[in-house]
């Protein structure tokens, strides 16, 4: 990471997430963490939410954090030392009392979606360093007519008409990033029975290109190495336990190597994630969601961060869900959100430095 004393001039925007979940609690706790750091190490951020609802939640949780209403992102930087800056949602109705901890409602979906959309607009305008999305309750959004499987797909749609730098591969690609492991699945939010049919050589190549380029641009990895998993036990055992490795994955690896991407595999997924194996690569590419997310959440549940790669904006998120079972009880651990805010901030730093160097700017 860059020197913490090198400060961005833009704040990070945090979305409200599921109102009935732990998003507000961990945001208040993350604010307290960054407020109490030395000035040169703190990271200013603001919440896109209803200030009255946040104040109500703060009092109910007994968290002594003042709430400061701001009218624009830049105000969050000066307001941050005195309280959690909250940028009010625009054009959304609903009383704060409607948000009951642990009891999600489809009636709040409009606010949840509006918070994401507003943060994306600010990022596309260049008013913020990046966005950090609090966890959403997908079931409630789906009931309200939300047509996306999750944040990753929604953010891809919201930014699809905005260009990315010439020569770079476009996402969205979901990656979970921890201190000792980074994992990107090729297929994400689909039933396991559909995974084999959803795989293609082209899709694997596309995901791997985005990951390799993002490791350089966003994570400052000079010469990234990817470890690519098989989809079957023992990576197909030479074709005796499935043919996808031979017919789909191996051709993708061949194409990646020809394009200059260092890629190893197909590798048995059950031997890719022990400490010695992880030291051999910078990111693991898995064929489906749980194949990669189980290892990283086991290794670094509270420290890992969900990152969307290949977008024209910076987006991170905690690697956990809404925590409805502990919502309103003051038990939520904010560490993943703290790490997500930090990663969004430094990704913007790394990306800006890379893009400036690429264009010849100082």
Q: Which residues of 275-289 are buried (b: 16+ CB within 10 A; e: fewer)?
A: eeebeebbbbbbbbb
d(CA 141, CA 139): 6
pLDDT of amino acid 4: 41
d(CA 309, CA 314): 8
In 3-state terms, what secondary structure has residue 353?
helix
pLDDT of amino acid 108: 86
Q: Of 286, 343, 288, 351, give the one whose Cα is nearest residue 319.
A: 343
pLDDT of amino acid 361: 72
Q: Which residues of 227-261 are buried (b: 16+ CB within 10 A; e: fewer)?
A: bbbbbbebbbeeeeebebbeebbbebbebbeeeeb
* Statement: residue 329 has pLDDT above 90: yes
pLDDT of amino acid 314: 96
Domain boundary among 272, 290, 310: 310
Q: Confidence band (pLDDT; 50, 70, 90) for 1?
A: very low
Look at the alpha carbons of 330, 335, 340, 341 in this order and tell me if their dihedral is positive or negative.
Answer: positive
- The domain tally of the chain equals 2
pLDDT average, residue stretch 33-50: 85
* Statement: residue 7 has pLDDT above 90: no
Q: How large is the angle between the packed helices 23-35 and 335-359, nearest 10 degrees?
A: 70
Same domain, 2 and 148: yes
Q: Model pTM? A: 0.91
Q: How large is the angle between the packed helices 250-258 and 201-217, nearest 10 degrees?
A: 40
Specify the higher pLDDT residue, 144 or 321.
321
d(CA 18, CA 141): 9
- Residue 211's φ and ψ, nearest 5 degrees, are -65, -45
pLDDT of amino acid 3: 42
Domain boundary among 281, 310, 339: 310
* Statement: residue 162 has pLDDT above 60: yes
* Statement: residue 240 has pLDDT above 60: yes
Same domain, 104 and 203: no
Residues of the domain holding 323: 1-164+312-362
Among 87-101, 111-125, 139-153, 198-212, the minimum mean pLDDT is found in 87-101
* Statement: residue 94 has pLDDT above 60: no
* Statement: residue 58 has pLDDT above 80: yes
Average pLDDT, the chain: 91
DSSP 252-291: HHHHHHHTT-EEEEEE-GGGSSSHHHHTT-SEEEESSHHH
Specify the higher pLDDT residue, 216 or 141.
216
Same domain, 149 and 5: yes
pLDDT of amino acid 92: 66
d(CA 85, CA 266): 47
Same domain, 223 and 279: yes
pLDDT average, residue stretch 293-307: 93
Same domain, 158 and 266: no
d(CA 355, CA 220): 12
Among 96-100, 188-192, 255-259, 281-285, the minimum mean pLDDT is found in 96-100
pLDDT of amino acid 6: 46
Same domain, 172 and 157: no
- Residue 193's φ and ψ, nearest 5 degrees, are -65, -15
What percent of the chain has a predicted confidence (pLDDT) above 90? Answer: 75
Same domain, 149 and 18: yes
d(CA 246, CA 250): 5
* Statement: residue 189 has pLDDT above 60: yes
DSSP 312-327: SS-EEEESS---GGGT
Same domain, 143 and 32: yes
Same domain, 51 and 144: yes
CATH of the domain at 208: 3.40.718.10
In 3-state terms, what secondary structure has residue 228?
strand
Under 8 Å between Cβ of 194 and 291: no
pLDDT of amino acid 2: 41
Domain boundary among 267, 286, 310: 310
Q: Which two tokens stand for residue 338?
A: 């703290």
Same domain, 335 and 287: no
Same domain, 112 and 222: no
Q: Which residues pair with 229 in a beta bridge?
A: 267
pLDDT of amino acid 302: 87
Same domain, 338 and 277: no
């Amino acid at each position: 990471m860059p020197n913490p004393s090198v400060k961005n001039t833009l704040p990070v925007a945090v979305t409200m997430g599921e109102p009935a979940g732990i998003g507000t609690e961990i945001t208040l706790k993350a604010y307290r963490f960054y407020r109490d750091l030395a000035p040169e190490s703190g990271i200013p951020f603001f919440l896109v939410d209803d200030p009255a609802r946040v104040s109500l939640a703060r009092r109910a949780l007994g968290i002594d954090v003042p709430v400061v209403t701001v009218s624009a992102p830049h105000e969050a930087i000066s307001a941050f030392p005195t309280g959690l800056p909250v940028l009010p949602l625009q054009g959304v109705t609903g009383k704060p009392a409607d948000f009951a901890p642990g009891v999600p409602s489809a009636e709040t979906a409009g606010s949840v979606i509006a918070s994401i959309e507003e943060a994306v607009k600010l990022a596309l305008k260049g008013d913020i360093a990046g966005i950090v999305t609090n966890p959403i309750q997908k079931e409630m959004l789906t009931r309200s007519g939300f047509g996306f499987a999750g944040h990753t797909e929604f953010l891809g749609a919201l930014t699809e008409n905005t260009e990315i730098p010439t020569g770079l591969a476009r996402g969205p690609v979901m990656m979970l990033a921890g201190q000792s492991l980074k994992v990107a699945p090729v297929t994400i939010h689909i039933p396991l029975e559909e995974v084999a049919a959803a795989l293609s050589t082209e899709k694997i190549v596309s995901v791997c290109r985005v990951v390799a380029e993002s490791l350089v641009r966003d994570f400052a990895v000079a010469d990234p190495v990817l470890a690519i998993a098989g989809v079957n036990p023992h990576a197909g055992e030479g074709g005796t336990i499935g043919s996808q490795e031979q017919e789909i994955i191996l051709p993708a690896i061949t194409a990646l190597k020809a394009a200059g991407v260092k890629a190893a595999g197909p590798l048995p997924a059950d031997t890719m994630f022990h400490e010695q194996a992880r030291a051999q690569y910078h990111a693991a590419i898995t064929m489906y969601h749980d194949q990669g997310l189980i290892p990283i959440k086991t290794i670094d549940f509270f420290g890992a961060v969900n990152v969307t790669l290949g977008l024209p904006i910076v987006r991170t998120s905690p690697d956990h869900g809404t925590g409805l079972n502990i919502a309103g009880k003051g038990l939520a651990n904010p560490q993943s959100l703290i790490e997500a805010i930090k990663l969004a901030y430094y990704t913007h730093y790394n990306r800006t430095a890379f893009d400036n160097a690429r264009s010849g700017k100082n």
